[in-house]
Amino acid sequence: MVQIIRKAALPTPSEVIERLHPAVTQALAMTLREPRPAGFPLLFTADMRLIEPAVAFLHEHSVQRAHTADTLRTYAEILYDWFETLEQNAVGWADADAVDLVAYRNRMMLQPSPHTGRPYRISTINHRVRGALRFYEWAVRMHWLTDSPLVGRPRNFAVARHPQPVRADTTQASDHSLFVLRQFEPLPRPLTSAQARELLATLGPPYDLMARWQLYTGLRVSELLRLNVNDVTERRLSAASYHTIDVTRKGRKPGYVVAPASLLDETTGYLCGHRHAWLQRARRKGRPLEHKGVVHQRARHTCRQERVSARNQPSRSGLRVQSDHASDAGDLRLHAAGSPRTARQRGRLNQPTARGEGADGSRTHRDHRPVSARHRC
């Protein structure tokens, strides 16, 4: 069975026995040109032999090309699944051909995922097949292999091929190969007004504000968590109804969203209310305050825990809200009623929200002040 072992940090001389102190001191003094960070995935076979081409492939994409940690994790999962399949069938990775790749694809079509227990999606199957093809193209280019049946030749194994007229605007795409399944881009499924109201009424602060940002702007969860205070507060002082906010997209790509002025005013109220209270409490407990994100670090951690827990639990009211962002389906999954709530989180529903409303709809004294006074820190 193929194993993934994470690279650990070098130990200090105080953590090893005395006779190893010189070796540890020498290792710590060495300077590497391209050191792999701690936590880097290393793939080993069942007899604990390092799969060097797979590790070199991950090293190039992580260290040399500086891809994100999510990209490294995705490539590691693809290579792990592919090499595990080859090892179970006693096929060497250098001897794999089209038959092995087609069998690998068909196995995912017929068997459910061992991790989730659900059938594989077509996009997931194509994603793994393309990852395996990309690995073999890289291996031939970097001379790990002299040649491969999966690289450098048409991926169509028909016995007789009829000549087709060639158009000037068409190219040989990998999506038209034998290995990749036909895939149709799913249409977005927006929330209805009733679902959006029920979702926002169920969530407590700051998760109601986070959900409102995603509903209004279409931000992914990771993009929303990367928003800084300056991105929201440093906007033009104008009477415009909408403002442009610069964001960092998936894969560190720059982008922007258009946010309504009412959403920015509500965010400013949250910064001066709940977030300010969290920072004050952290200061009293002696915690570091070097955090410039809009969402407080504790809220980030709790949000991830609630999303994972809600994903694994059925909804009590039957509401399971899902919104797809462009072509990347499933980036935003907000499970409203199924989220477990602690007693402290349930108590927050009785506190005034950023709009100045309690859980029972009663107005608080803050609503009687003008917006400029309410949102002044």
Model pTM?
Answer: 0.57
**Domain co-membership, 217 together with 115:** no
What does each of the 377 residues of the chain score in pLDDT, given as a tens digit? Answer: 889 999 888 888 888 898 889 898 988 888 887 888 888 999 999 999 999 999 999 999 988 888 888 889 999 999 999 999 999 999 999 999 999 999 999 999 999 988 889 999 998 999 999 999 999 999 999 999 999 999 875 544 444 444 445 444 433 444 446 788 887 777 778 888 999 999 999 998 889 999 999 999 989 888 888 888 888 876 656 678 888 888 888 878 889 999 998 898 888 888 888 888 888 888 888 876 655 666 655 555 444 554 445 445 444 334 443 433 333 333 333 333 333 344 344 444 344 444 444 444 444 444 443 444 444 44
**Residue range of the domain that includes 370:** 193-374
**Domain co-membership, 243 together with 340:** yes
**Domain co-membership, 206 together with 139:** no
**Domain co-membership, 7 together with 125:** yes
Flag whether 259 is in a domain: yes
**Domain co-membership, 231 together with 116:** no
Q: What is the 3-state secondary structure (H, E, C) of the chain?
A: CCEEEECCCCCCHHHCCHHHHHHHHHHHHCCCCCCCCCCCEEEECCCCCECHHHHHHHHHHHHHCCCCHHHHHHHHHHHHHHHHHHHHCCCCHHHCCHHHHHHHHHHHHHCCCCCCCCCCCHHHHHHHHHHHHHHHHHHHHCCCCCCCCCCCCCCCCCCCCCCCCCCCCCCCCHHHCCCCCCCCCCCCCCCCHHHHHHHHHHCCCCHHHHHHHHHHHCCCHHHHHCCEHHHHHCCCCCCCCEEEEEEECCCCCEEEEEEEHHHHHHHHHHHHHHHHHHHHHHHHCCCCCCCCECCCHHHHHHHHHHHHHHHHCCCCCCCCEEEEECCEEEEEEECCCCCCCCHHHHHHCCCCCCCCECCCCCECHHHHCCHHHHCCC
> Which of the listed residues 103, 131, 155 is the one where a domain comes to its end?
155
